[in-house]
Structure formats: structure tokens, C-alpha cells
Amino acid sequence: MNKQPSKEGPDKGGSWEESVSRFLEQTPDYFLRHPELLAALVVPHPESGRAVSLVERQVRVLRDRNEVMARELRELLQIARDNDQLGERVQRFALAMIDAGSVDDVLDTAHDMLRQDFSLEGVAVRVAGNPRPAHARAEFVEPGDAVLDRLLIRLGERNGQPVCGPAQDAEALEKLFGAQAPEIHSLAVIALTRRGLRGALALGSHDPQRFRPEMGTLYLARLGDLLMAGIARHLVTASG
């Protein structure tokens, strides 16, 4: 049963517009009982300014809403497809880390796959701590390494969560990416921590919008975990 709105003027402190709006909300069958009013009502067209019937205006509003919903649905479907593809790439990366036969193989495979499968222009790894390989390559640095410390400070500001944003530290970028550094415009830094080792994975892109501060970092964190698991597995085996 519909509520019967007051037939008096607007409520005290209100307005006629508010009263009419409230009346129509409380009496949804009003125009069913007075179809002649529905046909007689006209409203300005939002673009041309000419008067159109209320029905025509409602049709346009519904059409606009439908277009917005269709666009949002397409965007959601595209996001779902992108996530599926990203998930498949992360799975291939995980299998490659499992299949790697040595620390060198882990690092070489990670560099190649992150550049090719994930379309990245810059990939750099810095790890410090023990155990260390007998013949440490450039990725293994001494504790207190200036570049690694800068990366760890940034990670500490996010409680160890991956950090994304513009690539601004020119000195660190040059040491991480060498000749590629001037072309790196956005950066992701991912923590690498496991079994006495502490480090960072830095991913650089030419695209300034590739790594944004507000983007999700779940898959980035997984890449870091997988890489560090591969590194630590071979170091522990070699030292044990």
C-alpha cells in the first residue's frame, strides 16, 4: 500500500521541489493513474535544448545508462583477460624457477623471462647476506651496499610491500640498469627475503604509467617470492 503524502504545501524548511520529489517517490503509480499528465509533460533536451516528452527523455537516460554499464562490463572483461594472462606468465615463471639447476641458471632465467614474457626493459637483482655462492656474481653484494640500502629503505616505508612509481633516483638507476637507465621512467621494487638473505628485485619500464603508486602489487610480490625461493634453494644446497 502506498503512503499517502501530505496534500498541504512544502514541509517547514523544505521546498516545493523537495515535496514534489518526495511525493513521486512515495507514489510510484501516480502516472499510471494519470497517463494524460505523462504524455503532456515535456523537458528540455540535454544537448539541443528543444522540448521533448518525458518518455523520450527517460528512454535517452536509460540508453545512456546502458552504454555506461556496457562500457564498464567491457572494462571488467578486459581486466579479467589481462589477469588470466598474467597468471599464466607467473605460473610459467614458477615452473622455470623450479627447473633451474643452479643459482646462475635461476638468475639468468629470471632476467630473460621478466624481460621477454613481462615486456620489461630493466631487470636488476641485489642480494646480501649468507649463505653466498663461492663465486658470487654481480647480483650478490656486501651488506651495506649503497644501492641495496636505498631500495630497502623504500621497501621499509611500505612495510616490505612492493613499491611502484616514477623512476627518480638517477644514480641508483644507473647502477641498476646501466646504459638503459635514462630510458627507465617507472619502477617497481620488490623485497627478496629468505633464510638469512635480504635483497630487492627492481623492474624498470620505458612506460611512465607501467608502474603506478596506486596499482595492485599481488603478482609482483609473488614474482619476488618465487625468485628468492629459487635462489635460496640452491645456496642452501651448496652450503649444506
Q: What angle do CA 154, 160, 163 make, to 5 degrees?
A: 50
Which pLDDT belongs to residue 1? 44
**Do residue 212 and residue 126 come from a single domain?**
yes
Check whether residue 119 and residue 77 sit in a common domain: no
Is 66 a member of any domain? Answer: yes
Q: Specify the pLDDT at position 24.
A: 82
- Report yes or no on 233 lying in a domain: yes
The values of phi and psi at residue 54, to 5°, are -60, -40
Digitized pLDDT (tens) for each residue of the chain, 240 residues in all = 444 544 455 555 568 888 888 888 888 888 778 777 766 666 666 655 565 566 666 777 788 888 889 998 998 888 888 888 989 999 999 999 999 999 999 999 999 999 999 999 999 999 999 888 877 789 999 999 999 999 999 999 999 999 999 999 999 999 999 999 999 999 999 999 987 899 999 999 999 999 999 999 999 999 999 999 999 998 865 555
Q: Are 67 and 200 in contact (CB under 8 A)?
A: no
Q: Rounded to an integer, what is the distance from CA 34 to the centroid of its chain?
A: 51
Gap between the Cα atoms of 22 and 238, Å rounded: 77
For residue 188, tell me if it sits in a domain: yes
Residues 111 and 200 in one domain: yes
Cell of 105: 641458471
One domain, residues 65 and 117: no
112 and 70 part of one domain = no
Instruction: Report the C-alpha gap between 81 and 64 in whole angstroms.
Output: 26
Same domain, 65 and 110: no
Q: What is the number of other CB atoms lying within 10 angstroms of the CB of residue 206? A: 15
Going across the sheet that includes 197-205, the strands are 122-129, 197-205, 186-194, 163-166
Integer angstrom CA distances of residue 6 from 10, 17, 18, 19: 9, 14, 13, 9
Whether 9 maps to a domain, the answer reads no
Assess contact for 227 and 125: CB atoms under 8 A: yes
Structural domain of 105: 100-239
Angle of helix 146-156 relative to helix 170-177, nearest 10 degrees, comes to: 120
Do 157 and 117 belong together in one domain? yes
Which of 61, 86, 111 delimits the end of a domain? 86
Task: For residues 153 and 163, give the distance between their C-alpha atoms in angstroms, rounded to a whole number.
Answer: 11
What is the domain count for the chain?
2
β-strands 197-205, 186-194: how paired? antiparallel
C-alpha cell at 195: 633464510
Query: Considering the entire predicted model, what is its pTM?
Result: 0.70
Together in a domain, 50 and 113: no
Residue 5 domain flag: no
Same domain for 138 and 210?
yes
29 lies in some domain = yes
Query: Of 56, 86, 116, which marks where a domain is finished?
Result: 86
Q: Which three cell numbers stand for residue 230?
A: 629459487
Last residue of a domain, one of 63, 86, 109: 86
CB 155 within 8 A of CB 93: no
In a domain, 131, yes or no: yes
Residue 178 in domain = yes
Residue 120 and residue 166 share a domain: yes
Report the distance separating Cα 8 and Cα 154, nearest Å.
Answer: 65
Residues 107 and 160 in one domain: yes
The CATH number covering residue 176 comes to 3.30.450.40
- Cβ pair 232, 100 in contact under 8 A: no
Indicate if 141 and 63 belong to the same structural domain.
no
Q: Burial letters for 24-50: b for 16+ Cβ neighbours within 10 Å, e otherwise? A: eeeeeeebeeeeeeeeeeeeeeeeeee
